[in-house]
Amino acid sequence: MQSTPDIAPYIGKLIKFRRDLHAHPELKFEETRTSDQIAAWLQALGLPLHRGMGGTGVVATLRGSGPDADDPARAIGLRADMDALPVQEVNAFDYISANPGRMHACGHDGHTTMLLGGATLLAKQPDFNGTVHFIFQPGEEGGAGARRMMEDGLFDKFPMKAVFALHNWPALPAGQMGVRVGPIMASANRFEIRVRGKGGHAAQPHSTVDPIPVACAIVGQLQTLVSRGVDPLDSAVLTVGKIESGTVENIIPNEAFIYGTCRTLGSAVLNQLMEGIERISTHVAQAHRASAEVIIKPGYPTTVNHPHEARFMAQVMGKMVGDDNAHVDVLPAMTAEDFGFFLEKVPGAYGFIGNGAGGKPGVNLHNAAYDFNDDILGLGASFWDRLARQWFEQEKKTGKEMRS
C-alpha cells in the first residue's frame, strides 16, 4: 500500500475545529453554521461540494489520480453525522455549549472532525484509483436524516459501491476499535398509548372511569412482553419513558397518555412486540371499562453490517490499533442509528472507535457531562485515510484476479 500523509501536523487544527463545533451545537436540520464550517474546510481542500441534501447535509467528492476514478464501481462513501441533542451541558471547560439547552452529547462534533481530517489526508496525497464521497449528514438524532438524504437522491447523484461510518464508543478505551458482521445497532420504534376513561371529582371515583390506574396497569403488563414473551436468546428492550395525565390533584382526568420505545435486533421480534402492545393495551383498558388507542411511530431499522465490508473494516482496524485492540465481533448495542437506512440500500459497515480515557470507559453518550475525547481525532482521521486507500487497492487486486 502507498505511504499515507502524517496526521500530526493537523492535530491542533482538528482540535480547534472540534471544540468550536462543540461550543456551537445545532439540533437536527438546524445545522446551518455547522454545515457552513464544514463546507469552508472542504472548499479549502479544493473539493467540489453539494449542499442542502437532506436539508443541511453536505457531500464532497474527491477523485483519485487513477484512470478509473470516475467509475462508480470504484467509489465509496464515508459518513459522519453532525447534529446535537436537546441537553443542557454541565461541563465547565472553556468550550462548553454556548447554546442553552443544546449540546454535543453524542460526539457528532468529533465524528465530523475525524472525517474532515480523513478528507485532508486523502486530498493531500490522492494517489489512489477511485473516488471518495464524504457525507456529512444532518438529523441523525431522531430526524432520520439518512433517509432524507436518500430521498434527495444521495445514492443516485453519488453512486458508490460501499459506505462506511464510525461512532465513538465510551465503553471502549481510546486506542481500541470494534465492528461485527450482522446487526450492530438495534431497530427502534416509538409508541403512544392513549387511554380514555371518564373524568370527574376525586371524591366520587365510583362515578368515573379513572384512566390513571388503567395506564399504570398497562405499563406493568407491557413489561411481560419481553420478560415472558421474547426468547431469552433474542435481544429486545421495551421502555416507557413518559406518562402524562391530569391537571390538579382533586380531578380525575378523562385521558392518560403513555409514551415509549421498542428496540430489537430483528424485525420478527419487533413485529411481535408491536402486536403485543396493541393486544395488552386494548384488553387491559377494556377490563377496566376504559378504551385504549395505540399509535406506532416507525423509527430506525436495525443497522446490519454486510459481511464483506465488516470484515474489511475489521482488517483496517487491526492494522491501525493492532489485532489485540481490534474487536472483530464486538457486542451489538440496543441504541438505534439511522445509518441503517444507508445499509438497506448500499453494502457497508458501521464500527466503533473507543472514546474512553486513561484506559477506562468514558462518560456515557447522551449524558450532560459527556465530551468527545480529542486524543482519538488523529486515529479516526488516519483510519478513514487508510480505509479508503486499502479499499481501492483491494478492488484493484480483485479486478486483476478476475481478468487473469
Place of cell 496526521: 7
What average pLDDT does this structure show over 159-173?
97
Name, in order, each residue with C-beta under 8 angstroms of 322's C-beta and a sequence gap of 6 or more: none
Write phi, then psi, for 352 (nearest 5 degrees). -115, 145
Asked whether residue 133 carries a pLDDT value surpassing 80, the answer given is yes
pLDDT tens for 262-294 read: 999 998 999 999 999 999 999 999 999 999 999
Q: What angle do CA 364, 370, 373 make, to 5 degrees?
A: 100
| pLDDT value of position 159 | 97
| pLDDT value of position 67 | 87
What average pLDDT does this structure show over 5-15?
97
Residue 362 near residue 107 (C-beta atoms within 8 A): no
Crossing angle of helices 108-124 and 32-44, in 10° steps, is 20
pLDDT tier for residue 73 given thresholds of 50, 70 and 90: confident
Domains of the chain by range and CATH? 8-181+306-403 (3.40.630.10), 186-300 (3.30.70.360)
| pLDDT value of position 27 | 98
